[in-house]
Amino acid sequence: MNKQGNIPTIVVLAYNRPEPLSRLLGSLLRAEYGAGQVPLIISLDHDPHPEVLHLAKSFDWPHGNKQINVSDKPLGTRAHVLQCGDLTDQYESVIILEDDLLVSPYFYTYSLEALHFCKSDASLAGISLYSYDVREFKHMRFMAMQDGFDNYYLQLPSSWGQLWTKEWWGEFRGWLDRGELVSPDIHPAILDWPEHSWKKTFISYLVDQDKYFFYPRVSHTTNFGDLGQNHKGEFARYQVPIEMGQRAHRLCKLEESKAVYDAFFEPVVTDVNRSAWMDQFPNLEFDLFGDKHRFRDETQYVLTTRRVRNVIRTFAATMLPLEMNVYMEVEGEGINLAKKADVDLSKRPMNPRIHERITGRFSKQRYGIQYLYQLMKQIRK
């Protein structure tokens, strides 16, 4: 049993997908672990696929103790993840890997480095091994601002490779035991996620408690989107490049980072990234993707791609990430600075032309207009 918090136990979740499990286990064998003993737990939901059970039993783990846990009752994804998170009480820290992932050869050495850097930070709730390049809703491109460090902070939990310590998980469990809360300050799309989503609950926890996940700039896992409870199969939208070289990382604490993002993937204004002109506009909130359905109570001013009634200042919407137009004070139109009360949330969100520029294709609105225009041309002929 691992009672040392600086040697995370690897926990693999599986049920009825033998091929993805084989792929993940193969990548675990190819990874580097150093000279220490690394425990591995393969956690199987009740009545697993026979090939999955055979794979788990026959898999030779040369880096330490291997243990197979089979649930005595059906769990589903949510209960299974929660049960594996509870292993932190026994193992101090765990790396959770669902079977549709593949890990970088350096995922474990990175995990050790990040854990050593982060484990005493009360502002965090976990460490991600995955790095986003697309938002999880509306699936628009996401790029964290480059600030000279190899990590960024996001108010969303990682579900594609995450590390929890006993302290972080215990705080979440204590919050959950007080009664589950769905925060009103999460994306409307998340509210529609199914009840079996543990991530929906964890996002509410992060927002309610103002905590963050620690993310790498270069991912140490990638997601295959195999057929399962959350995907219809062969879903490559969340495939990302993984780290293939060993290197030291330059890491920063939350209070040092310029790359801090809320639960909408929107920048958070901090003492570190605040521009001098922003001092005139206290309690400033970003809405660059234009899909927030409400703003924080304390917010006074908003930077948004929505139309507003009274514009204080405008910026171009040409640089990516979009917040760079604000920080570099690029002149133009597209991003509006306005008082919170002057942002009409009932109006259409992000301007279609900005959407088009970011995605490289017509938005639905613009496509419809273009289609009707071409149709009318044909009719007139």
Domain layout of the chain by residue ranges: 9-261, 276-350
Q: What is the pLDDT of residues 91-142, one digit of tens each?
A: 999 999 999 999 999 999 999 999 999 988 999 999 999 999 999 887 888 9
Cβ pair 88, 170 in contact under 8 A: yes
- pLDDT of 369 reads 62
Of 329, 356, 207, the C-alpha closest to 303 is: 329
Confidence of residue 351 (pLDDT cuts 50, 70, 90): confident
Q: What is the pLDDT of residues 237-251, one digit of tens each?
A: 889 999 999 999 999
One of 3.40.50.970, 3.90.550.10, 1.20.120.1750, 2.30.30.230 is the CATH number of 9-261, namely 3.90.550.10
- pLDDT of 366 reads 54
Q: What is the pLDDT of residues 298-309, one digit of tens each?
A: 999 999 999 999
Segment among 138-142, 161-165, 231-235 with least mean pLDDT: 231-235
Query: Taken in order 278, 135, 137, 186, is the CA torsion positive or negative?
Result: negative
d(CA 17, CA 289): 36
Contact residues for 295 (Cβ-Cβ < 8 A; gap 6+): 285, 287, 302, 340, 343
